[in-house]
Amino acid sequence: MTDRFEYILFVGFSYFFRVLGLKLSRKFSIILALFFFYIIPIRKNVTIENLTRAFPEYSSHKIKKIAFQCYQSFAITLIEILYLPWMTSEKMEKIIKINNINFVKEKYQQGDGLILMSAHFANWEYMAISCGLQMQIPFSVVVKDQRNVLVNRWMNKYRTKWGNKIVPLGISIRQIYKTLKEKKIVAMVADQRGARDGIRVNFFGRKASVYAGPAMLALKTQTPILYGIAIRQPDYSYTSEFVEIQTKDLTGSDDEKIIELSQRLTDYLEDIIRRNPEQWLWMHKRWKY
């Protein structure tokens, strides 16, 4: 019953934003941010704690300002996701300007397959869809299932609307490995907290658990790994540029290579976050253990 009510509310907002139009709907984000930051402060303390750890040089006033901007950024992302049924392929393709999309195409044409990494930054859902349209090649996108089965089904319907395929997290390793061995493209977002017993790398000067999967798969399959993050602009468009995370110069044991590659992935993410901290999703306990 709860799932159905949440789903009706979810779809209701989707139609509401259709009536408003995307441009006006994005302005609604300030209301959502105010509501969930001040009235029902979901994960507000976690967000502020994370930002304080990451930026100890910032004043409490600046930390709170970034935290609120983070909530507004997430609200914009949610609104844009809810607007997916009304987006055309033309609009979706153009909404993200990937400065070096030809570089990505050339890497793929080399015939080794590709791992495309991104992060929970600005609108990661639009990034996967738009990049697939610009490449004109369907991706296998690794996703974590939503708690609400009905919402999850709705999300996957529009994630796959323009050709991408969904690989559920948890049963994905074998399927991803098979896809990469077939020299195809796998896209994944793996910037959240890893397992308690997972590998640890430096993130904002602190040890943080990360998922070893991307590094392990890249090394095991000898697949190039490119990192691309969509950065939201003041006009609500997005820009992105893919960077290859080098693997050829790694030395040491397999475990040491996995740790070093994971550190390189994390270093790139941290650099992007430092430039636009309000666009990353700080609402989980990144340094829980």
Question: What are the helix (H) ranges across 182-236?
Answer: 213-221
Cα angle 37-10-25, degrees, rounded to a multiple of 5 = 65
pLDDT of residue 113: 92
pLDDT digits (tens, 9 = 90+) for 135-191: 998 889 999 888 899 999 999 999 999 999 998 876 667 788 888 989 999 999 989
pLDDT of residue 171: 65
Angstrom distance (rounded) from CA 95 to CA 93: 6
pLDDT of residue 50: 97
pLDDT of residue 172: 65
pLDDT of residue 30: 95
pLDDT of residue 211: 92
The pLDDT averaged over each successive group of 10 residues in the chain (289 residues) is 90 95 94 95 96 97 98 98 96 96 95 95 96 92 90 95 88 80 92 89 96 93 96 96 95 95 98 98 91
Q: Per the confidence metrics, is the pTM higher than 0.75?
A: yes
DSSP tag of 280: B
Residue 244 has which token pair? 């290859």
Angstrom distance (rounded) from CA 227 to CA 279: 17
Tell me which residue has tokens 């074998």: 174
- Counting every residue written for the chain, the total comes to 289
pLDDT digits (tens, 9 = 90+) for 110-149: 989 999 999 999 999 999 999 999 999 888 999 988 889 9
Distances (CA, A) of 168 to 35, 145, 146, 219: 32, 6, 10, 22
